[in-house]
Structure 1
Amino acid sequence: MSGLLRTISTRTSLALRGPMITQRASVFTRPAKDPLGPAETIIGLGLFALAILGPSGWILANIEDYKKKD
């Protein structure tokens, strides 16, 4: 029983102490080397909208098929 309590206490004490290593994010604050043009921006936003709205549009277009209980 004391082995179990020792295991639990060491694991919880490590969790309560927090991480020993300080993590730093790699954030770059310089502007982009090549600015994006309007065509690249429109293509990127279009693909992003398609990825978000495409599956829900597919479900709504085929809702009658999903309602059937075969």
Structure 2
Amino acid sequence: MCNFQVSGKVFDCKGGRFIRYNIILYIAIVLMQLIILTNITLLDGSWNGITMWLCTGIFIFATTIFLLSKSQEQKSGR
């Protein structure tokens, strides 16, 4: 595993790809907000159940990413 730091930001390279966990988590938040906004404004709340399931799935995905990043931090000793 390699880690390097560029202007205060730590990058992990795994298989030649850079993983930025904070960007993945930010995208998850934006996606949830867009789903909720679309449901409320365009669909008048008629898809509340589907919206809830989508947001719950995105939340579980984001929580998994967060926990994986924390476990890698602990393993690397940062």
Say whether the fold is shared (TM-score over 0.5). Answer: no
Larger Rg: 1
Normalised to the residue count of structure 2, the TM-score between the two structures is 0.30
**Greater relative contact order structure (CA < 8 Å, 6+ sep):** 2
Normalised to the residue count of structure 1, the TM-score between the two structures is 0.32
Q: Which one has the bigger strand percentage?
A: 2
